[in-house]
Amino acid sequence: MIMIHRAVFLDRDGTINYDSGYVKDPAEIVILPGVAEGIRKLKYEFGFKMVVVSNQAGVAKGIMMREDVEAVNSRINQLLMKEGTAIDAFYYCPFHPDFDLPEKTDCRKPSPKMILTAAEELHINLGCSYMIGDKASDIECGINAGVKTIMLQSSNFDKEISALHNQRKKTNFVAANFIEACDFIIKDFLEDNN
């Protein structure tokens, strides 16, 4: 029998780690406050798979290589493992419509393709899963995949929330930080399972 999992899908840069713009040097990775603690709690106390879904257009733009993306992903997990937790799987879209054919860019958020692929490969029930991100495209991706969404407040929050409103879409919850996002998920999950 295949076990069906619940998951929290996470944007990477700006959600898990500090976003300096086209993050490609593993030595510069800084995990944002509360991230390791929140992931650890969701994963081990509540049984959520932790899955990163990330646009990495820097590859298409020639700013970085796929190996750079994978090295950064590895470094993120090394740092999280020091805090007693880890990401279960990383998915990323290295393509961009300005540089690649349309059929290649269909993985790019707000497309739900990375989430749908992860759901199929990891046996995830999207009906009891969530998406955390700091951009409108993260929230739209989650909505398009049929998961509940949490938007993190960031320096571009007003611009990102306006972009969502312009699409006539809204997030399930706005969180001031990663721990608040996790607290919302835990509360929502417990309410749904009582």
8 A C-beta contact, residue 134 and residue 151? yes
From the list 110, 118, 114, the residue with the least C-alpha distance to 171 is: 110
Catalytic sites, residue numbers: 11, 13
DSSP 11-40: -SBTTTB---SS---GGG--BPTTHHHHHH
What count of residues does the chain have? 194
The token duo for 76 is: 């993120």
**From the centroid of its chain, how far is CA 176?**
16
Count of CB atoms within 10 A of residue 188's CB? 16
